[in-house]
Structure 1
C-alpha cells in the first residue's frame, strides 16, 4: 500500500480540485460522488495493472532473482511466484544432472545405443555406435540409419514392422556379430541397441561342433554293440532266464542311446544352417500326417485314443521332408505319450492370413505356466520322474523348435492344467504351395 499512497492519492487530490471548482461554478454537486467513485476505481485498476505488468516482467526474465517490492495481495503473489521459481530451478538442476548421468552411462556402454525419431532418422548415438557402425558425429544427425546398414529386412526392423530382433555384421569389422533389439518410445521414436554377440556365437559354434562330433563318434560303437547283442539274443544264451533278461535290458538301453545320438545329430544339423532351397521340395502335410499316424497306430490303439484331423489336402509347404517329418513325429509322439487312455488328439493343417499353421493338441494333464518358457529347451523335463518312466531323450521339442525356426517360423506352446496342451508351428506364407487348383479340407477321425 506504500506505493499506492505514494502516487495514487496525490494524483486523485489534484484531479478533484478542478472538479470541485467546475461543480461550484455550474452548481452540479450531484455528479460529484459517481465521478469520485469512478476515479477511485480507475486508480485501483491502474494500480493492479501496473502490479500485474511488474510481476509478468519479473517472472519472464530468468536473470532476475528477487521479486520487486509490492503491496497488498501482490506481495503474497510475488512471494509465491518466487518460491515456485526456486522449486522449478532446483528440479531443473536435478533433471539436468540425471540427464548428464544417463548420457555418461550410455556413452560408457560397450553396446551400440542409437536414438531415432519417428522417421527413422538418427538423433543420437554413443561412441560404441560411432566406432562399430562407422558413423560421423554430428555430421550424420538427421540421416536415416538404413543409409549405412544395408542389410536385408533392416528397414522393416527399424520401422517396427519386421522381426523384434535381428543380427548383422558390424560395418567396421565383418568378424564382429551384432544383435539388435528395437524399443519403441512414447514420442513415436525408437531406441535401438546392438549388442556384440561375437563371443557368444563362437561358444555356441564350439558347443554345436562338440555335440556333432561326439554324436558321430558314438554312432559306430553303438551300432557294433547292438549288432553283437542281437546275435547273443538270437543264440542259446537268450534261453537262460537270468542272462536273457540282462541281454534284453542291454539292448533296450543301447536302443535308447542310439535314439539319443540320432536326436543330437538331427539337432546339430538344424542348428548348423538354414534350409537350403536346392534340397527343399513341396511336402504335402496331409499325406505325411496320415502316414505317421499309420506308423503310430499301435500306440494309438493300445491307449484307445481318438485322433481328429483337419487337413487341407491341397496345401503343401516348400521345405525338406526330413525336417517336416521330425516336426510331426515328435509332436505326435509327444501327444500320444502324455494323453491318458480313452481321450483324444487333434491335428490341424491350415492356411491362415498370417501364414501356414500346423496344430497338434492333446487332452493330457497340461503344463504349468512356469514351465512353458523352457519347455523347448534341450533335456528340460517338467516332471523328471514321470519323463524317465515314459522314456524319451528330452530333445523332441527342442528339435521341433529348431526345425520350425530353420524356416523363419516360430513354435507357440499353450497349455492349461487339466485341459491339455496345444503346440502350434507357424510358417511364413511364402512357403505355401498348392498341389491342386482347388483346396480340399479333409476332416478325418481315427
Structure 2
C-alpha cells in the first residue's frame, strides 16, 4: 500500500457535473473527469482495510484496494488488469453503477467520504482504451457452440466469458444493436453509446457472432447449439390500469427513452410517431432511476415543466439509514443530476384516473395517501388523505418498473441469467449473473 495515511489528509473529491445551463441543451455525458494526478490522489485514500467491505458489497467481487493501490502508484495497466479480472465491462459500471462498494467503504462509515471507486473505475478503463491495454484475445476453440439470447449486460458478460473459455458463441437480440437497456433504456447523457460500440467491436474481433432483429421464442430455441443462455431481461413494463389509460399522451417510460436514443443514433420518425416532451407539462409516475432518466430527457426535449410522483413515502434524507445500517445500502433520498435540472417531486401520491379532452390527455386525478401498518401483517394498508386533486399534464410517462417474465420448463442445457432470473435489478447484478451462468455452462460440459 503506497500511502496508508492519505485518507487523513486528502478529502474526497468528485469530478462533478457539467453546469445545468449547459448540459440540458444536449445529450452529451453529464459527468466530468479529474486530471490524472487528482485521480491518483483519490485512489490513495483507499485504506486497504483488513476486511474490505467494498469487495463484500460488490456483486462482481471487485477488489478496489488492489486496483486503487496500482492506480495511486501510477501503474494504470496493472490497475486495469486487476479491475478487468472481476469486471468484464468496467466502462459501463464506472458510469452507471450506484457504487454499492462506496456505501460499504469504511471511510463512508467514519467520515461519509468514501473512496471514489466508481469514478476511479471509469478513469482506469478509459486510460486502458487510450493506451491499448485492452488486448484482443484469440482463445483456442473447444468445439462446442453456445447461443446467448439477449445482448444486454447479462448476455454480454456470459458471451464474453464463454468465448474466452473457447466456446463458439452466437448472441441473438431482438433489437437492431447490442446493449439491451444499456443502449435503449439509459440516456446518452449518462452513457454515451459509442462506449458500448467500442466494447462490442472488441467482442466481435475476439470471435463472438452477433445476430440482430431476432425475436427468439425461448420455447423454440435455434437449432445447432450445444447449450443456451437466456438473458432476455424484463421486457414488460408495469402498467397503470386506471380510467383514461387509452388517452393520447400516456406512454411507458421506454417508449420515450428508447426512441430518443434511436433518434440520436440516426433513426427517423414521423411527427405522429414521435414521443416528445417539447412544450409540454410532463408528469412522471414512478420515483426510481427510470423516472429520473425521463426527467432529464424531457428537459433536453424542451418540456414546459416536469412533476414526478411516487406512491411510496419520501425516503429519509440521510446520509445514514437506521433500517439498513452500514455496510448495507442506505435507502435514503436520492437526488440525481436530472432532478437538479428542475423537477417538482411528490411522495405518497396515488393516481386515480387520466383526464382528457377529444381523446388527448389534459391531466391526472391523484390522491394523497398515507400507509398504515396491517394488523394482520404483510403489505401496509393505503388510506386516502384529504380530497383528490388534478395535476395538469399533457404527457404522462409510466416509470413503475418491470415485470419478471414467466419461463417455460427448460432443458438441462439451457441456462438463465440477469433480470429474467432476478426480476428488475442493477446492471452490476445482471453482469454478475451472466458470469455465473457462463460458469454453469462450462461445468455442464465437464
TM-score w.r.t. length of structure 1: 0.23
Q: Which structure's residues are more often helix, by fraction?
A: 1
Q: Flag the structure with more relative contact order, 1 or 2, with Cα contacts below 8 A and sequence separation at least 6.
A: 2
TM-score w.r.t. length of structure 2: 0.23
